[in-house]
A and B are shown apart, each in its own frame.
Chain A
Amino acid sequence: AQKITQTQPGMFVQEKEAVTLDCTYDTSDPSYGLFWYKQPSSGEMIFLIYQGSYDQQNATEGRYSLNFQKARKSANLVISASQLGDSAMYFCAMSPMDSNYQLIWGAGTKLIIKP
């Protein structure tokens, strides 16, 4: 079964520290995409970063990087130098080719940055 697991329902992190949000996925499809989205309290869904299953290098976007370990089927999001504005829900999602690249979502992790 295709599934995304985010094991951390909530996290508290001190401002300026790096934070790693866990995401593991399950698929037998060789072709898939992995996404991270941020949902602040205002409610919008903001795209952060994408990793294709065939990409050789880990994706990076500014302070965000995706630690892609294909053999372990993990796609952890790393936020460097966390800021108060990083407090939000974070969703990991997968789009397997077998599902016509439709998004399969994790349950989300609520991240709170402490000043």
Chain B
Amino acid sequence: DTAVSQTPKYLVTQMGNDKSIKCEQNLGHDTMYWYKQDSKKFLKIMFSYNNKELIINETVPNRFSPKSPDKAHLNLHINSLELGDSAVYFCASSRNAGFSNTEAFFGQGTRLTVV
């Protein structure tokens, strides 16, 4: 069983399209995150949800909208995709609100390519 699973692993799409990336964790964790890793490998947090409530919303275009239907899921919907959105997106989860211990895991990443 994969602790944090995100789908799809690869996503190639045209500019202007709308796409979603799904994330599910089976660890019973309270907090889930979305990170973006750019071409220079720099990781930046985008959103964090604790018990389905948004607790972190970094400066991200409002074309990006997270949706948490329940504590185990945090999906990322992106409208009107742009070339600059091409990156690897990681979902993560932690037991508490933050990485205060080892109870924190990342998904395998989704490589998004906008053409």
What mask results when residues 65 to 100 of chain B are scored 1 for a CB within 8 Å of chain A, else 0? 000000000000000000000001010100011111
Total number of B residues with any Cβ neighbor in A under 8 Å: 25
Give the distance in Å from the alpha carbon of A14 to the alpha carbon of B44 in the complex. 32
Number of interface residues, chain A, beta carbon within 8 A: 25
| A43 engages B111 (CB within 8 Å) | yes
In the complex, A33→B95 CA distance in Å? 14
A105 within 8 A of B: yes
Contacts of A100 in B (CB 8 A): 55, 97-98
The reply on B105 being an interface residue by CB < 8 A is yes
Q: Is B39 an interface residue (CB 8 A)?
A: no
Interface residues of A in 25-73 (CB under 8 A from B): 33, 35, 37, 39, 42-47, 50, 52
**Which 9 pairs of residues, A with B, have the shortest CB-CB distance?**
A101-B98, A45-B106, A95-B99, A44-B108, A101-B100, A50-B102, A105-B43, A43-B109, A100-B98
12 A/B residue pairs, CB under 8 Å, sorted by A: A37-B106, A44-B106, A95-B99, A95-B100, A97-B100, A101-B99, A102-B48, A102-B98, A103-B43, A103-B99, A105-B42, A107-B42
